[in-house]
């Protein structure tokens, strides 16, 4: 059984992950309405992965005999000022999530909760990848500049992303 400070913090993180999923779904719809099906696909898969991140926490809490306390998910933003603005917002959001994960690790350390500390290592690695992915798209957008052809190619590229379901949940 987890200490209450730890389980409360993990429950809060479930909400952060579900909000991330909601935010990226909103971004996916925004791209779809712009006719950018590849960007929309990339964001839709991002949203699915965020739900998996929430479920991993959900299952971990249950495996520890702790309570899952689901809260209201806040409404995400619906409009942005173009493609770059969306990806910048994505990077910014991932940096926020990285901070949340680091704070969770601090709590696990403070409570000498080795199991949770170990569990969180997966999220640490995942955050490096998540930030890198957003940065990579931003760099490409920078290179593309005003070229419609290059944007079309990038959109085609992002359409290739496929969702891989997690093998284990906890």
Q: Which is nearer to ligand OFO, 88 or 126 (CB)?
A: 126
Give whole-number Cα distances, 156 to 38, 70, 101, 109, 118, in Å: 6, 37, 33, 44, 38
The minimum distance between CB 15 and ligand OFO, in angstroms, equals 12
Q: Does 53 bind ligand OFO (CB under 6 A)?
A: yes
Q: Does 130 bind ligand OFO (CB under 6 A)?
A: yes
Number of residues that bind ligand OFO (CB under 6 A): 9
- In order, the DSSP letters of the chain are ---HHHHHHHHHHHHHHHHHHHHHHHHHHHHHHTT-HHHHHHHHHHHHHHHHHHHHHHHHHHHTTPPP---PPPPPP---SSHHHHHHHHHHHHHHHHHHHHHHHHHHHHTT-HHHHHHHHHHHHHHHHHHHHHHHHHHHHHHHTT-HHHHHHHHHHHTT------S---
Q: Does 27 bind ligand OFO (CB under 6 A)?
A: no
Interface residue with ligand OFO among 97, 137, 141, 154 (CB under 6 A) is: 97
Residues 54-93 that bind ligand OFO (CB under 6 A): none
Stretch that binds ligand OFO, among 29-37, 74-82, 123-131, 144-152 (CB under 6 A): 123-131
The minimum distance between CB 146 and ligand OFO, in angstroms, equals 30
Q: What are 72's two structure tokens?
A: 């209201």
Residues 131-170: x where in contact with ligand OFO by CB under 6 A, - otherwise, as a string: ----------------------------------------
Residues that bind ligand OFO (CB under 6 A): 17, 20, 50, 53, 94, 97, 123, 126, 130
């Amino acid at each position: 059984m987890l200490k209450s400070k730890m389980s409360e913090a993990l429950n809060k993180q479930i909400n952060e992950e579900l909000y991330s999923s909601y935010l990226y779904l909103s971004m996916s719809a925004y791209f779809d309405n712009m006719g950018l099906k590849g960007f929309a696909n990339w964001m839709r898969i991002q949203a699915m992965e965020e739900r998996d991140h929430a479920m991993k926490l959900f299952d971990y809490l249950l495996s520890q005999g702790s309570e899952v306390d689901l809260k209201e998910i806040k409404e995400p933003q619906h409009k942005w000022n173009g493609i770059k603005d969306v990806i910048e917002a994505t990077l910014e959001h991932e940096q926020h999530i990285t901070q949340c994960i680091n704070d969770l690790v601090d709590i696990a350390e403070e409570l000498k909760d080795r199991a949770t500390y170990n569990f969180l290592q997966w999220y640490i690695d995942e955050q490096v990848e998540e930030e890198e992915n957003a940065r990579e798209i931003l760099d490409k957008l920078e290179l593309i500049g005003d070229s419609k052809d290059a944007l079309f190619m990038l959109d085609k590229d992002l359409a290739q992303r496929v969702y891989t379901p997690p093998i284990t949940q906890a």
